[in-house]
Amino acid sequence: MTAEAADALLGPAEDWPLCRLPADWAAALRPRLDLAVMARLRAALRARLMEGRRIFPTPERLFQALELTPLREVRAVILGQDPYHGAGQAHGLAFSVQPGMRLPSSLSNILRERNSDLGLVLPRDGFLVPWARQGVLLLNTVLTVEEAQAGSHRGLGWEVFTDAVVAAVNDLAGPVVFILWGKVAGDKAGFLHAERHLILRSVHPSGLSAHRGFFGSRPFSQVNDFLQRHGRGAIDWRSGGAD
């Protein structure tokens, strides 16, 4: 890929990534972000694109979680690790896959727990955009990955960006539910306002750990009970496919 093509995919270097974000998120993140770190992150992504590496999700979908869920509308945060690294799966929302894709084990377990918790049935797909449009911020701690290389973009700088996103939500006056699955997400609990928000922690829903405390944790009903008690309304946890 040429430098020009990589720049076109990533967006302008000046003020990146703020220049790519909706105005509300950009305003909230500007005082929290180290733009020098962000410049190095963009340079690392640009170099990898120019080398011909396949990066998921595609650059135009890097910030889909923030595009679909305005800051003022966030009612719950589900924090993942990094995107799925198989072709056609990741589209910018933690745990979600595009319609027609086979459910990864972690997403299958999430929907299995949702079904048990709320009395639903397995949907046709794992497309979670309907959750995002209701104020569920589906955020990975690292927003990109290379094909077939799990965790390949950890340490490039995304953690600085997503820490700023979590901090912006944490400072909201309205109560929010933070759903932290696994150690990477759970490490964020230390700087959250526990007196204002509800923090739900459990093991990760992956096939390796879901049976050690994820199944039976009932996060979905707990989210709705908390939100309704605080006048913020329940979330319809059905996904893109018919339940």
- CA–CA gap between residue 1 and residue 206 (Å, rounded): 35
Distance of CA 174 to the CA centre of its chain: 20
Catalytic site includes residue 82: yes
Residue 199: phi and psi, rounded to 5, are -115, 115
Residue 84: name the closest of 127, 158, 128, 147 by CA: 147
Residue 76: name the closest of 131, 37, 33 by CA: 131
Question: Which of the residues 7, 82, 125, 171 is marked catalytic?
Answer: 82
Q: Say how many CA atoms lie within 13 Å of 228 toward its Cβ.
A: 9
Written as one string, the DSSP assignment of 44-61 is HHHHHHHTT--EES-GGG
| Residues annotated as catalytic (active site), given as ranges | 82
